[in-house]
Structure 1
Amino acid sequence: MIKHLLITPLLFALVSSSVAQDSPPNVLLIVADDMGYSDIGPFGGEIATPTLDALAKQGLQLTNYHVLASCSPSRSILLSGMDNHRAGLGTMSELLTEQAKGKPGYEGYLNHRVAALPEVLKANGYRTYMVGKWHLGEDESTIPHARGFDETFVLVGGGGSHWSDGQWVTPTVPVKYSRNGKEVKSLPEDFYSTKNYTDNLIEWIKRDQDSDKPFFAYLSYTAPHDPLHAPQKYIDKYKGTYDGGWDTLREKRLQKLKELGVINKDARPFPRLPTVKAWEELPEDERALAARDMEVYAAMVDYMDGQINRVIDQLKSVGQYENTLIIFFSDNGANGSSLATYPGQTSEYMNRFDNRLENRGLKNSLIDMGPGWAQASMSPGRMFKGFTAEGGIRSPLLVKLPGKMANAGSINQSFLHIRDIMPTILDAANIKQPATQFAGRLVQPIQGTSMLPLLEGRELDTGPDVREVGYELFGMKAFFAGRWKVLWMPTPHGTSEWELFDLKQDPGELNDLGKKYPQKLMELVARWEQYKKENGVLDLSSGGGK
């Protein structure tokens, strides 16, 4: 039976911290790429994720965790504990406008005014590994090997083919891999991103198993980011699963979320976008193609879960599992944007690929999930990746502390933010946060707050200071304070005015309470303006957005 942590003070006395460790813990930080809130089993998904299901039972399930609306801004906060405008990714490097170029906080890479998480851990005796997506800088001073990682095998940019062919997502963005700071010129013929990332990490863990140093492993998968690719047998596993369409899937996910206690039983989903047709209105051939796309997406998540299990098995085999802090989440919401709309895309380039039904998801295909499936994956949220609405920024978070957790299997609904990950890891490792200097350079103090007291059961909820967070990305804005959120998005997906929502009652952001509570609306808008000043935010709401 699921135990909720927000019940009575009695539970506070009953929940003890995890088993004390004799040595600093290892840290396994696993980040999925563009994965939806309700995709995995603990959050209502029908996709087979037994490894993550087990992790939720052994750890804690955090249901009110927020990230950024897009890849690189999210990752800049993850590795700095700082607002993205302070860390250098006020917007994605691919979308820098003339208005933003050259401004502090808009460098387009993880800047050196922040102390990066791997740098701090390495300086305090950790071995540091990274595999997968970086997307935080491409030159010698900004690639991961220059920011504190000992061993790296990374996709330097934002995306590309998951196979060995190195096909680009658009004709203007090449696929570039790097190993320990040196470009990888070719990939093995049997390369598949999720498998090979995992292979490299397992190799390093096995090689260094006798080391007296703890490790930090950043397992940064590119699944299930488009283009959607998966091995044939995994795609076949989901044949027919999505023939009922996105409306049916979204409703099933919604009911499961309520049944699990992840959202309240009265929650309503944001309606299907008017630009997305009802499933039954699609011609039969279009339904077949769309169902196949979701089958491939599900196969990618399923395969990723199996690879995570390989890493966990390796940790167990070398006796390190019980001394490892494991964190899993997605960097942003599911992606509802079409590949055809990406910057630099051309129809001529897209026509090079074989997207027939029988080849979709295999080599030389270029497909995405589209807005219908993305809305289902983000049930009950409004919108998806790229938007500061809940569908773009709410992520499923699982955390397992070292040892046995007394609150294992519990659900916690405290508001948490991606900026809290770095201070939590440092706290667990008993490492002091950098203040104003690190490695001979001036840095900014971390803005996030450690979640460790909550994870260990010493606190039942995060305090009001932690629960206030500002947002701006692509000209869209938001501010959180407790259960309240104000949101500004331009038309047609927003109103071009500030809206006020009570997220505890209305996670789908359907009921604007601005007119009912005008003082609360004005108060939070004023706090956003203060956030803007404190973090050097350029207000791009009049242009230069996504």
Structure 2
Amino acid sequence: MRILILGVFTLFCFSCKDAATNKKEVTQPEKKPNIVLIMADDMGFSDLGNYGSEINTPSLDRLANEGTRLSRFYTNTICAPSRTSLLTGQYPHKAGMGFFNEDFGVKGYEGYINKESLTLGEVFKEGGYSTYMAGKWHVGNERPHWPLQRGFDNFFGFLDGGASYFDTKPLLKGPPSTAFLYEGNDVYNIEKEDFYLTDELTTRAIDFVKNNPEEKPFLLYMAYNSPHWPLHAKPEDIAKYKGKYDAGWDELRKLRFENIKKLGLADEDWNLFKDKLLPAWDSLTAEEKSEWTLKMEVYAAMVDNLDQNIGKLLNYLGTTGQLDNTVVIFLSDNGAENMDVGKMPFTVKRNEGPVGTAGSMESYSKKWAQVSNSPLRSYKSSPYEGGVATPFIIRYPNQKEAGKVMKGGSHVVDIMPTLLDIAGIEYPESYNGVTPNPLVGESFLPLLQGEDWNREQPICFEWFGDRAVWLGDLKGVHQYNKEWELYDLFTDRTESNDIAASQPETIAKMDAIYNEWAKNNGVIAWSEEMGKKTQFRKSPH
């Protein structure tokens, strides 16, 4: 039952001590900086050229060369909890999203962001910013919890976990989907023949910025759903990758790993993790190889198109003289997709037509996700590094050095305090009569400015009964109903060598840290009974 529930909710995702914001004085520009926060959906650790990929991503490569990359930056393992932490600076349970956008009827699992957890929109609007959002919301389905009701001045996108890139027809079985588009609080009907969602999100975002009052800085949250399934791409983008993946996933994983080492994002002595449950490329028939290469060609085309659109946005900011006073952050919400979506007929409403076209509901599954996450272990919805590690790029005003790769070791809850630090904004002590939850993240601006900085508090995680604790370079992993595992990420980022048996004291310490964190954040111990509570609700998350 747990495996089934995990599969469905992964499918439906179309997809510690409180720390105040760092009060260290930093040189501020005369005008507060604009902020562009870009989150991709289900993108793997090595899917960008600047993280080792063969996919063409010149816009993000340039951003990396002009900014800073972190080799260790973490989200949660699945979309809605990650987006909650990004928007609020809270661990998801504290903000009401301990499982998904599904109401369990208990505190911490309401399925929407609670009022005590302020969003970036609310905090930056209070700090004098215009606040805009384009893309995927997925942190509250009912109107009181929509973007305009949670601090954003303008919104164009969709509320649910995913959407077709070419139309607004329902994707899944069950009640009518909320995965159609909204303009503000109103349903938006597509009237363009050449509509492609990633393009439209960018066009709308640029429109927001064009109309922004000149005297006000802006915060723009770009929540792209690309490259989340379904595999939908424009023919001209797919054509660029014809034949690119004929060598298969085994060779491509190795090639990416070599690229990652050359870029300084991996050490020579790491092992390339191999999922032994997946078939070797050479074991496939010619027909199977043809089917699978097409899927990766389409996926690469989606990443390519995403980069094109990010380039359009950054070029607009550049030509209008705003880019140098703009903080730009790029990351993904979790690791690469783990499900073979097209083979799940009990959920998928339609799956007709070639991969890449509007009728297709295919994904590229673990078989290619092992390439996207190379060299890391596992995939989306897993507590191993492949589920939670994301590429992370930041470019900001008054940056001292460009093109650096730093270890990092931060979590998505650290983004809000870092942005507040850069913008010189205080987190509100009260908001609309509500006392907000204190921020739990830590600003990593000192790290970016070259200081000897390490995160003071451990990072903790729970979803669907799986747990993890990061304590410096040590990481504990506790899968549901199993024992703690322990890995030294400094020497073993691919989690190939479990050292738990040799360090029982460390395991006991991590277990205590986790229990205290769970208590402070309202985490309920997962049980099969909790899983049964969802009943899937026939709800197209």
TM-score, structure 2 as length reference: 0.90
Q: In the alignment, does 2:477 pair up with 1:487?
A: yes
User: 108, 113, 120: which one pairs with 2:111?
Assistant: 108
Q: 1:157 to 1:187 in 2, by over 3 A?
A: farther
Q: 1:506 to 1:309 in 2, by over 3 A?
A: same
1:92 equivalent in structure 2: 100
Alignment of 1:316-395 (within 5 A): 316-340=318-342, 345-346=345-346, 349=348, 352-355=350-353, 359-395=354-390
1:424 equivalent in structure 2: 418
2:504 equivalent in structure 1: 518
Q: In the alignment, does 2:42 pair up with 1:34?
A: yes
Per-residue CA distance 1:427-450 (angstroms, 9 max, x = gap): 111111123x22211221010111
Q: Contact 1:160 / 1:169 at 8 angstroms: preserved in 2?
A: no
1:315 equivalent in structure 2: 317
Output the CA distance in 2 between the equivalents of 1:34 and 1:169.
19
Q: In the alignment, does 2:486 pair up with 1:500?
A: yes
Specify the SS of the correspondent of 2:306.
helix
Output the CA distance in 2 between the equivalents of 1:528 and 1:244.
43
Output the CA distance in 1 between the equivalents of 2:197 and 2:204.
11
Specify the SS of the correspondent of 1:204.
helix
Alignment of 1:226-241 (within 5 A): 226-241=229-244
User: 451, 468, 472: which one pairs with 2:462?
Assistant: 472
Specify the SS of the correspondent of 1:371.
helix
Specify the SS of the correspondent of 1:85.
coil
Output the CA distance in 2 between the equivalents of 1:239 and 1:186.
30
Q: 1:299 to 1:523 in 2, by over 3 A?
A: same
Q: Contact 2:342 / 2:351 at 8 angstroms: preserved in 1?
A: no
1:176 equivalent in structure 2: 180
Specify the SS of the correspondent of 1:454.
helix
Output the CA distance in 2 between the equivalents of 1:89 and 1:273.
33
Output the CA distance in 1 between the equivalents of 2:352 and 2:299.
17
Q: Contact 1:65 / 1:418 at 8 angstroms: preserved in 2?
A: yes
Output the CA distance in 1 between the equivalents of 2:528 and 2:442.
33
1:447 equivalent in structure 2: 440
Per-residue CA distance 1:435-494 (angstroms, 9 max, x = gap): 3x222112210101112122222x2332433xx011100111111100011101148xxx
Displacement of 1:21 after TM fit? 1.1
Q: In the alignment, does 2:248 pair up with 1:245?
A: yes
Q: Contact 1:159 / 1:169 at 8 angstroms: preserved in 2?
A: no
Q: In the alignment, does 2:203 pair up with 1:205?
A: no
RMSD across aligned positions (CA): 1.9
Output the CA distance in 1 between the equivalents of 2:452 and 2:231.
39
Tell me how many residue pairs correspond in the alignment. Answer: 507
Q: In the alignment, does 2:518 pair up with 1:532?
A: yes
Q: 1:373 to 1:439 in 2, by over 3 A?
A: same
Per-residue CA distance 1:23-70 (angstroms, 9 max, x = gap): 100000000000010010111011000011111111101110000100
Amino acid at match of 1:513: I
2:279 equivalent in structure 1: 277
Output the CA distance in 1 between the equivalents of 2:167 and 2:343.
25
Displacement of 1:268 after TM fit? 0.8
Displacement of 1:544 after TM fit? 4.6
Q: Contact 1:335 / 1:384 at 8 angstroms: preserved in 2?
A: yes
Amino acid at match of 2:208: W
Per-residue CA distance 1:132-164 (angstroms, 9 max, x = gap): 000011222100111011111011100121112
User: 452, 455, 477: which one pairs with 1:460?
Assistant: 452
Amino acid at match of 1:28: V
Per-residue CA distance 1:174-199 (angstroms, 9 max, x = gap): 22221111222445332211100000
Q: Contact 1:27 / 1:326 at 8 angstroms: preserved in 2?
A: yes
Displacement of 1:205 after TM fit? 1.3
Amino acid at match of 1:84: P
Output the CA distance in 2 between the equivalents of 1:218 and 1:411.
24
Q: 1:19 to 1:41 in 2, by over 3 A?
A: farther
2:196 equivalent in structure 1: 192
Amino acid at match of 2:52: G
Q: Contact 2:410 / 2:455 at 8 angstroms: preserved in 1?
A: no
Displacement of 1:530 after TM fit? 1.2
Output the CA distance in 2 between the equivalents of 1:530 and 1:256.
40
Output the CA distance in 2 between the equivalents of 1:250 and 1:18.
42
Q: In the alignment, does 2:142 pair up with 1:139?
A: yes
Displacement of 1:269 after TM fit? 2.3
Specify the SS of the correspondent of 1:442.
coil
Output the CA distance in 1 between the equivalents of 2:401 and 2:214.
31
Specify the SS of the correspondent of 1:240.
coil
Amino acid at match of 1:57: N
Specify the SS of the correspondent of 2:37.
strand
Per-residue CA distance 1:360-386 (angstroms, 9 max, x = gap): 111211110110111111112111001
Q: Contact 1:375 / 1:384 at 8 angstroms: preserved in 2?
A: yes
Output the CA distance in 2 between the equivalents of 1:47 and 1:238.
8
Amino acid at match of 2:444: M
Specify the SS of the correspondent of 1:255.
helix
Q: In the alignment, does 2:167 pair up with 1:164?
A: yes
2:396 equivalent in structure 1: 401
Output the CA distance in 2 between the equivalents of 1:284 and 1:380.
26
User: 272, 295, 298: which one pairs with 1:296?
Assistant: 298
Q: 1:463 to 1:204 in 2, by over 3 A?
A: closer
Output the CA distance in 2 between the equivalents of 1:31 and 1:477.
24
Specify the SS of the correspondent of 2:236.
helix
Displacement of 1:425 after TM fit? 1.1
Displacement of 1:18 after TM fit? 9.1
Q: Contact 2:338 / 2:366 at 8 angstroms: preserved in 1?
A: yes
Q: Contact 1:485 / 1:501 at 8 angstroms: preserved in 2?
A: yes
Displacement of 1:354 after TM fit? 2.4
Q: Contact 1:247 / 1:279 at 8 angstroms: preserved in 2?
A: yes
Amino acid at match of 2:290: A
Task: List alignment gaps of at least 5 residues for structure 2.
Answer: 1-24, 535-541
TM-score, structure 1 as length reference: 0.89
Specify the SS of the correspondent of 2:73.
strand
Q: Contact 2:168 / 2:181 at 8 angstroms: preserved in 1?
A: no
Q: 1:170 to 1:236 in 2, by over 3 A?
A: farther
Output the CA distance in 2 between the equivalents of 1:123 and 1:296.
42
Q: Contact 1:164 / 1:189 at 8 angstroms: preserved in 2?
A: no
Per-residue CA distance 1:507-534 (angstroms, 9 max, x = gap): 1111110111111111111211111111
User: 41, 48, 53: which one pairs with 2:56?
Assistant: 48
Q: 1:20 to 1:426 in 2, by over 3 A?
A: closer
Per-residue CA distance 1:259-314 (angstroms, 9 max, x = gap): 1110111111221241x211111121111111100111100011110111111111
Q: 1:28 to 1:499 in 2, by over 3 A?
A: same
Output the CA distance in 2 between the equivalents of 1:184 and 1:204.
16
Displacement of 1:244 after TM fit? 1.2
Q: Contact 1:164 / 1:187 at 8 angstroms: preserved in 2?
A: no
Q: Contact 1:383 / 1:392 at 8 angstroms: preserved in 2?
A: yes
1:14 equivalent in structure 2: none
Q: Contact 1:226 / 1:368 at 8 angstroms: preserved in 2?
A: yes
